[in-house]
Structure 1
Amino acid sequence: MERTDVRVRARRRDDLAACVDVLALVHAADGYPVNWPADPAGWLTVRGMTGAWVARRDGRIVGHVLLTAPAAGDVAPSLVAPDVSTVGRLFVSPAARGRRVGAALLARAAREAVLHGTRAVLDVVTTDTAAIALYERLGWEFLGPGRQEWGPGEWVDVRCYAAPRA
C-alpha cells in the first residue's frame, strides 16, 4: 500500500459540491450508493448527524465520512450496548484508494464517537467485500449479520461492525 499525505478535517458547507463529485465517481465505479439520491448534497447531510469529515490529498477532496445518532431500524446499534454512534456515507475516490484514505476517515469517526461518549458502529452490505476487508484489517469487531431496510420493501443483507476498543 502506498502511503501519502492525507489530511482529514471537518466538512464545510462549501465542500459539498466536491463531495458530490467524488460520490458520483464512486457510484459509477462501485454502485454506491445503491440508489442514486435525487438530492446528493442533501443525502450527505443526515438528520441526527453529529459530524462529517472529508479527506484531502494534494489539495482535493478524495473521501468523506459522517457520524450520526442511531436511526430507527439501524441493525448495528441493536447488536451492541447502548451509547453508540453510526458511521455513514463513507466513500473514497477510486483514484485515491490504496492510500489509507478510508482508514484515516474511519479513525477520525471512531475518535469523534469516543469524544461524544459513544462507540462507532456501522453496517455494510455483504457483497461489498472490499469494505469488509478494510474493516477487518483495521480491527473493527464483527458484531453479526443482519437485514437492513434501505427503502420501502427493499431489504439487504449486511454485516455489522464496531470500532476497535481504545
Structure 2
Amino acid sequence: MRRDRVADAAEGHPVLRVRERSGVRDLEACVGVLAVVHKADGYPVNWPDQPAAWLEGAAVLGAWVAELDGRIVGHVGLARPGAGDEAPGLWGERAGADRDGAAVVSRLFVAPDARGHGIGALLMRRAGREAQERGLHPVLDVVSSDAAAAALYERMGWHLMAVVEQEWQPGQRVALRCYAGPADPADDPSG
C-alpha cells in the first residue's frame, strides 16, 4: 500500500498522508465526514439513500483517504465513465479518442475543519496520478454552483471543456462544469 506523506510530526506540523481506502472502518469514517460536508456545503446535492454504497461506486478503479494526525478528513475516488458522466464524452471528442480512455475523478470532499492544508489538491493529484499510470486521462463533472471546487480545479491546471445541463430528478435541472485534467500531472501549477 503506497502512502504519500506531506508533513512530519517531528517537524512540529500535523501529519498528513493519503492512502488507499480500505475496509469497513474507512468507509464508515468517510460516511461520517461526508455527512458533515453535506450539512456545511450541500455536497452531495442529493443525499444518497445508501451513502457507503454511493462512495464505493459501481465502477471504482481506486479510492483514497486523507488522514490528518491519524483521522480521516478527506476522500477521492477514480472510476470508469458511467452513463451520467458528461466529461468523458467531451474529452473523447476533443482528443479524438474513445470515452473509455478517460477516468472520472469523483467523490472528492474534505472535512470543513481540516481545510487549508492542501488536502483537496493532494487527493486530486493522487487520483490523477493513478489515472495516468493506467493510461487513462482524468476528467470530472462538478455542479456549477460549487465555485470553490471549480477554483481548485482551475488552479491545478484542469481545463473547462463545457457547461452542460442534466436533469437529475423530475424538476431538478443542474448545470455541470466538465473538466479535463492536465495531460501530465507534472503540469499541475499548484505543486
TM-score class, shorter-chain normalisation, is over 0.9
| Counterparts of 1:65 and 1:152, CA distance in 2 | 28
Structure 1 residue ranges without an equivalent (≥5): none
Q: Counterpart of 1:48? A: 59
Higher helix residue share? 2
Structure 2 unaligned regions, length at least 5: 1-12, 93-97, 185-191
Which of 92, 106, 111 is 1:88 aligned to? 106
Structure 2 residue aligned with 1:150: 168
TM-score, scaled relative to structure 2: 0.82
* Identical-pair percentage: 56
Q: Of residues 35, 57, 73 in structure 2, which corresponds to 1:62?
A: 73
Matched to 2:102, the amino acid is V
TM-score, length-normalised on structure 1? 0.93
Partners of 1:104 and 1:150 in 2: CA distance: 29
Cα deviations across residues 68-101 of structure 1 (Å, max 9, x unaligned)? 1001131111111230000111100001111100
- CA deviation profile, 1:103-126 (whole Å, cap 9, x unmatched): 000000000001111011001111
RMSD across aligned positions (CA): 1.4
Relative contact order higher in (CA < 8 Å, ≥ 6 apart): 1
Whole-angstrom CA distance in 2 between matches of 1:23 and 1:44: 9
Give the drift of 1:4.
Answer: 5.3
Corresponding pairs, count: 164
Runs of 4+ in 1 over 4 A off after TM superposition: none
Give 1 or 2 for the bigger CA radius of gyration.
2
Structure 1 contact 121–163 (Cα < 8 Å) conserved: yes
